[in-house]
Amino acid sequence: MSEATDRAAGRGAAGATGPVLAFDTSSDLGSVALLVDGEILGRRFLPDRGRQAALLVPRIREALEASNLAPSDLSGLVVGRGPGSFTGVRIAAATARGLSHALGLPVWTFSSLQAGAASYGALAGELGGDTPSALPVNPPAPARTARLDLSAEAEGLPRFVLFDARADRLYGGCWRFHADRVEELAPPAALTLDDFLDLDLPPHLLLCGSGAHRHAEVLEAHDHRILPYPAGLPLAEGLLRLFQLRGNRNPERPGSAWEPDYLRPSQPEREARGPGSGDAKGRSPTNASGSGGRSLGALEPRP
């Protein structure tokens, strides 16, 4: 039995009992953070999407050194499994698998959409230290959004995260956060803007994420409220919040072949399938009745 396997077996089903490393590279802003004795440490950011593959491991090393930790001190990894940028999701998954195998670490994976919901407020002056002075994407706030002060209200309201997937395509999911748990109202799914507008949504819902800002004019015309950017960015701090709220049960074991959640085929995959293949993977089902809005439960859960 290898040293890494010995360490993994020693941790057993109880999961992480020491420092935990989290990272996500599914969006324009990659991030790294550590959870040590209940405190978030070592926050690092990757604002250049084109260099995330080259910079993720160095940023992890910096985070560990800044927290006076060695890789051998880690007891687990928490990773955003997508959806988002196909390349970015693959970078995070490959890095997590490699570290898990080398260090014998369990891996907890969470939807990057859910991490976006959990990261609300993380870049609103609360990070300190290594907070990026200029975010890579900073869309102008929609007219109504610019006038909203939702900092206190938003924490207890359902947050529907929408990632831009180009044209009218979106990735979306909805969650409500309680003091001791996360309530899933709509599981991660691939959908179109029309799919979203056809949903029968609960009152007081708040939208956030790159997709919400891309389609802000249409969404606001349908009386939706959009949280100001950068709400909805999936950050390592949000992943660690999910880890704390959801517990450290049922991790992926070291060496396991878990797969990211892309939710729809990549462009090369679609081209290989030929005309008419569409984006069926992860799409929300059609309304069988042909009338009325669909409930949130109509969105397909992830596989």
Terminal Cα-to-Cα distance of the chain (whole angstroms): 33
What tokens does 172 get? Answer: 């979306």
Q: Which residues contact 195 (CB under 8 A, 6 or more apart)?
A: 170, 283, 284
Q: Give me the pLDDT at residue 179, please.
A: 87
CA gap 48, 36 in Å, rounded: 27
**pLDDT tens digits, one per residue of 168-220:** 999 999 999 998 999 999 999 999 999 999 999 988 899 999 999 999 999 99
Q: Give me the pLDDT at residue 219, please.
A: 95
Distances (CA, A) of 55 to 62, 63, 129, 253: 10, 12, 19, 25
Q: Give me the pLDDT at residue 216, please.
A: 93
Residue by residue, pLDDT tens for the chain (303 residues) are 344 444 444 443 346 789 999 999 999 999 999 999 999 999 999 988 889 999 999 999 999 999 999 999 999 999 999 999 999 999 999 999 999 999 999 999 999 999 999 998 776 544 434 444 445 544 544 545 544 555 566 678 999 999 999 999 999 999 999 989 999 999 999 999 999 999 999 888 999 999 999 999 999 999 999 988 888 999 999 999 999 998 777 899 998 889 999 998 866 565 566 655 555 444 343 333 333 456 565 554 333
What pTM was estimated for this model as a whole? Answer: 0.82
Q: What string of H, E and C letters represents the secondary structure of the chain?
A: CCHHHHHHHHHHHHCCCCCEEEEECCCCCEEEEEEECCEEEEEEEECCHHHHHHHHHHHHHHHHHHCCCCHHHCCEEEEECCCCCHHHHHHHHHHHHHHHHHHCCCEEEECHHHHHHHCCCCCCCCCCCCCCCCCCCCCCCCHHHHHCCCCCCHHHCCEEEEEECCCCEEEEEEEEECCCCEEEEEEEEEEEHHHHHCEECCCCCEEECHHHHHCHHHHHHCCCEECCCCCCCCCHHHHHHHHHHHCCCCCECCCCCCCCCCCCCCHHHHHHHCCCCCCCCCECCCCCCCCCCEEHHHCCCCC
| Alpha carbon 174 to its chain's center | 12
Going by C-alpha positions, the residue among 108, 69, 126 that lies closest to residue 242 is 108
What tokens does 161 get? Answer: 């995260």
Q: Give me the pLDDT at residue 74, please.
A: 98
Domains of the chain in sequence order: 1-134+230-263 (3.30.420.40), 139-228+269-303 (no CATH)
Q: Give me the pLDDT at residue 159, please.
A: 94
Q: Give me the pLDDT at residue 123, please.
A: 66
**pLDDT tens digits, one per residue of 71-99:** 999 999 999 999 999 999 999 999 999 99
126 CB neighbour count, 10 Å cutoff: 10
**Residue 77, beta-bridge partner list:** 21, 107
